[in-house]
Amino acid sequence: MKTKILILGGTTESRQLASALDERFGDNAQIISSLAGRTKNAAPIAGEVRVGGFGGEEGLASYLKSENINLVIDATHPFAEQISNNAAVAANKIGVPRVLLQRPSWQLPENCDALFVPDMAEAANIVARTARKVFLTIGVNELSAFEGTPKVHFVVRMIEKLRIQPGLNDFEIIYARPPFELADEKKLMRDHDIDALVTKASGGAATFAKIEAATSIGARIILIRRPPPPDGDIVSNIDDAIKWIEKSINQF
């Protein structure tokens, strides 16, 4: 019988994993990638794709049971805290092995002016006190934390077209999709005279250039700390995820 593997996705790594599993296990496994459905033009993914929430941890547990899922790989974004916690609880409840594939944190350049903060509210406080021109690369959901910040011009970078304009006092929006190159990031920050970058401490190679660029122009980097991962197995790359799957299959 085929091993049914659910990948909780929405990241570059989750797409790479789907391709790697397709190649490694071929017809011996059924690979299902799950997306929240936030992105309109999601990149192609190997194997099957399902879209939309499960209905909390209960809904996910029901899905795992009714679809006879054998293994869960949580390859969601490090800041997708809710779905990761739901996956941990649901898989544990149903007795399905689960692993978190979490990309390594960035190794910050030694000479950077970096400040870690717990949340966007604290980032907004620091920005209000210390910055004039701020590059915001935080996604759409938490822009409101910066509303009402006086005397700051925000350069907001988005991947998806915004449906509603942000309520920031003074801003412009740039649309672009990673990966980003160092030379382009430097030019963008220089052209906009950026003195602070606000970003989640997401990790990943595709967006690291902004950290290097901010360092090279002397801009402060305000990083939102990652939420803690749920208890359980963690791997940090695709090879180790495959090894975890092989080990789990051998234990069936």
> Which residues, other chains included, contact 167 with Cβ-Cβ below 8 Å and sequence gap of 6+?
143, 144, 147
Q: Is 203 a binder of ligand NAP (CB under 6 A)? A: no
Only segment of 19-27, 31-39, 173-181, 204-212 that touches ligand NAP (CB under 6 A): 31-39
Q: Report helix angle 12-25 to 238-250, nearest 10.
A: 50
| Contact track, ligand NAP, 37-56, x by CB under 6 A | -x--------------xxxx
Q: Is 36 a binder of ligand NAP (CB under 6 A)? A: yes
| Contact track, ligand NAP, 85-104, x by CB under 6 A | -x------------------
- Distance, CA of 9 to CA of 199 (rounded, Å): 21
Tokens of 116: 């870690």
116: three-class secondary structure by DSSP: strand
Q: How does DSSP classify residue 41?
A: T
Only segment of 23-31, 71-79, 88-96, 116-124 that touches ligand NAP (CB under 6 A): 71-79
**Please, what is the minimum distance in Å from the beta carbon of residue 145 to ligand NAP?**
14
Only segment of 80-88, 94-102, 108-116, 230-238 that touches ligand NAP (CB under 6 A): 80-88
> CB atoms < 10 A from the CB of 143, how many?
21
